Amino acid sequence: MDELNNIWNVDDELNEEQLMNYINGKLTEEEANAFEKKMAGSAFINDGVEGLQQFSSSEKIDLFTRQLNDNLRKKTAARKQKMKRSFKGLSWELMAIIAVIILALIGYAVIQLLNK
């Protein structure tokens, strides 16, 4: 389950630490060259780096990442709550329908007994 929550896997072609070190210029020349080769071969990495370079500081990147994660948590929590409510509502509706059907059957049986 822990692996599902971590979108930056070690086996990926890129990890968050490597990306941030590249953006902040903390990679050695050899590591930077290897990273740039990965960038050249992947439009996804290239777009990510270009987007992150538009931020003026790593603090803004961290803030933006936190905001995105909070938004995602709120939306998924709201969706879970909505699903819980719909299931609870469905059970009450189902119980009401069953009660009406039972009352209708009892009423029909009583009417049939009174007509005999």
Neighbours of 49 (CB within 10 A): 18
**What pLDDT digit, counting tens, does each position of 70-91 carry?**
988 888 887 777 666 655 556 7
From 17, 46, 20, select the one nearest 8 (Cα to Cα).
17
10 has a pLDDT exceeding 50: no
* Res. 113 pLDDT band, cuts 50 70 90: very high
Residue spans of the domains in the chain: they are: 2-86
The predicted structure's pLDDT at residue 105: 97
